[in-house]
Chains A and B, each alone.
Chain A
Amino acid sequence: MVEPILQAAWDGLRLVFSFPNILYPIIGTLLAMVFAFIPGLSGFTLMALAISFTLHWEPLPIMLLFGAFVGGATFMGSITAILFNIPGTTPSAATTLDGYPLAQQGEAKTAIGCSAMSSALGSSFGVLVLILLIPVMRQAILSFGSPEFLMLSIWGLATIAAVIRGSLIKGLAAAGLGFLLSFVGFDPRTAEVRYTFGNDFLREGISVVPILLGVFAIAEMITLSVTGTRTISGSAKVEQLTGSLWRGVQAVFSNFGLFIRSSIIGTVIGMIPAVGGTVASFVAYGQAVQTAKNRDKFGRGDIRGVIAPEAAHDAKDGASLVPTLAFGIPGSEGTALLLGALSLHGLVPGKELMNNQLSLVFVLIWSLFLSNWLTSIIGVALVNQLTRLTVVRTQLLTPIIFALAVLGAYAYKGRIEDVAVAALFGLIGYFMKKFDWSRVPFVMALVLGPLFESNLHITRNLHQLGRINFWTRPLTVALMILTAVTLLLPYVQGIREKRRQRQASEEDSS
């Protein structure tokens, strides 16, 4: 079983790195980077466009190009998140939480270096898991059902408590509000319309993208404008910036345990169909805060707050190919389009593709791997030019970012109402920031809400029908234990701290 896989891997590698094949992933990566950097566009937009253009291409260049698209867009979205607090892709909203404060402290280079390394290594992790899972891909996906999805979302929600800064009451209430927003639209089970006031726009639900653009990008620009902050970094000259690329890169290795945990989270969540990178990034961020000994700097420029979401976000890329290749079920929006491109060329994911065209599958995998590293390398090469943007006067930047943010909100689904949503949540986000309402739990609950609700109903139903037994499902039990640990961890930390203080004072008195 191993030999055919190794042979196909080698054949795929030779195909990717031969000329002129190598040009496809390079061009694909560059295009994906440009699209991801401009707010309002994304790798997803590029892929949708490319489907029409590549209609008459052969399967090999399709795999080379689309593999690069899937891998190339993720890192660049983090650059705008770090520099301007604009999530270039929705998962990079988690990177804004500590990446942008680092930029505000003149440490944009550190954040970008860290993001580049974390992304590249995280995606390698995801690709490695993908390759290792090839022989057991189908069984792996089939072992995840509604009870597992439910427990995963509960665990994600449990980490919310860890990420709340300041007032616990406000943080939990903000999470409740995020949850409430996720209910707008159709009930997943009964198809009843909820909180729509008879409005067609609200029937589809409020999209996450305009909310994120408002709560992060627009709210931040309002703050800069109101406070009269001269530049994002606070420095007027590039020479005054204190960041260091290599410090950022080294931070990944000095927090390697965190990196591995976050990559595992990204990989596991990436394999769950239709969940996407946003959940992975935020859950990884939550666990980073939860497990940190000293968590006071999170949300204020803690480099670990960049490592975790970046690793998870990129590890998800490789992992999201698992359900896609095994069953033709997209693991993310990007892989949904990849499926479309494959279908248009008669390539049907499943046993047929995995058994008879495995080398073509490896072309896709290696192209994804290559593009992830290419984006990190190019991003690092451009870091000096990019960080210059943090010394541009905010008075110049603000209206441009307003414009791009509302355009981004519109471009997502082509609905003019999303512009109003982004503006409204820009104001709400500003006041949340001003009055110390934590935005992170709000966003986490918004993103996890649909996953939680639909799987709760299905799991409840399955239990009532006697179709499942939680205690015979090892993954469910493992996630239950993980959730219990997550909830009890602060209490245990409190007891440990009390004990330590008591011992220290006893030693002092003796």
Chain B
Amino acid sequence: MTKTIEKALFTLFLFAVVTVSLFLTLRLGQVARLVPLAVIVPTLALLAFQLLLDIMPHLRQQFSSLENKDLFHVRRLREKSLHPNNSTETTAAMADEEQGLRRNEMITMLWILLLPVFIYLFGFLLALPWHTFCYLRWRSGESWLMASGVASGVFALVYSVFVLTLRMALYEGELSRWLGL
């Protein structure tokens, strides 16, 4: 997937969210929908326009002053040359690097998403040190000693500060509760 498509997909996601909000807003009373509508309609227009810019490079060139936030050409007057437009052409080396970054991205996002899932299942006291340990060991490639040490430190910090001192009721986790842990 090229960066152009990724950009457009992100814009499309935002566009979809705002469109759904529009339909929900129309169901509200007159007063409750007043300000939301005044915000949603222009935002939707902006997002639609941005989507077009994302998928049509020639349009982007035409509206480059908007892209560079240089409505009154202040920067263009001050500088000798404009910023170069994003090119969709990549060399083979750049393509490889991009693919590597994308892989890193997917893996990191999975690790991020894993954390709330761990917390939901096992609660903070188990999930946080566990996630820290697993991340350090298998994502960062740290040694067993380092991973265990840091994870223990996280547990100690959370337990001593939040549980013992603040007496905060930390979420216990559904699975932990079910298993009676």
Contacts and interface: CB of A to CB of B under 8 A. Distances in A.
Chain A directly contacts chain B within the complex, with at least one CB pair under 8 Å: yes
Nearest to A460: B34
B96 interface: no
Interface in A455-510: 456-457, 490-491, 493-495, 497-498, 501
Contacts, number: 187
B21 A180 contact: yes
Interface string B1-44: 00000110011001001100100110011011001100110110
Nearest to A431: B10
A395 interface: yes
Contact of A498 (B28, B77, B111, B120): B77
A403 interface: yes
B109 A427 contact: yes
Interface in B76-129: 77-78, 101, 104-105, 108-109, 111-113, 115-116, 119-120, 124, 128
Q: Majority SS of interface residues in chain A? A: helix
Please classify how large the interface on chain B is, using the bins under 10, 10 to 19, 20 to 34, 35 or more.
35 or more
B179 interface: no
B29 A403 contact: no
Interface stretch (A58-66, A275-283, A349-357, A411-419): A411-419
Interface string B47-84: 10110010000000000001111011111011000000
A169 B60 CA distance: 12
B112 A218 contact: yes
Contacts of A225: 104, 108, 111, 139
Given A169-B46, A171-B69, A396-B150, A427 B112 contact: yes
B41 to A, nearest CB: 9
A303 B47 CA distance: 33
B50 A399 contact: no
Contacts of B105: 222, 226
Please classify how large the interface on chain A is, using the bins under 10, 10 to 19, 20 to 34, 35 or more.
35 or more
Contact of A192 (B32, B73, B162): B32
Contacts of A194: 24-25, 28, 32, 36
Interface in B129-167: 131-132, 135-136, 139-142, 146, 150, 154, 157-158, 161-162, 166
A173 B47 contact: yes
Contacts of B116: 406, 419-420, 423
19 contacts: A41-B166, A172-B46, A173-B50, A176-B42, A218-B112, A222-B109, A225-B104, A395-B139, A396-B142, A407-B124, A410-B171, A416-B119, A419-B115, A427-B112, A435-B11, A493-B74, A494-B73, A495-B72, A501-B77
Given A398-B140, A403-B132, A403-B158, 11 more contacts: A177-B43, A187-B28, A187-B31, A189-B32, A225-B108, A402-B115, A402-B131, A406-B116, A410-B124, A411-B162, A497-B78
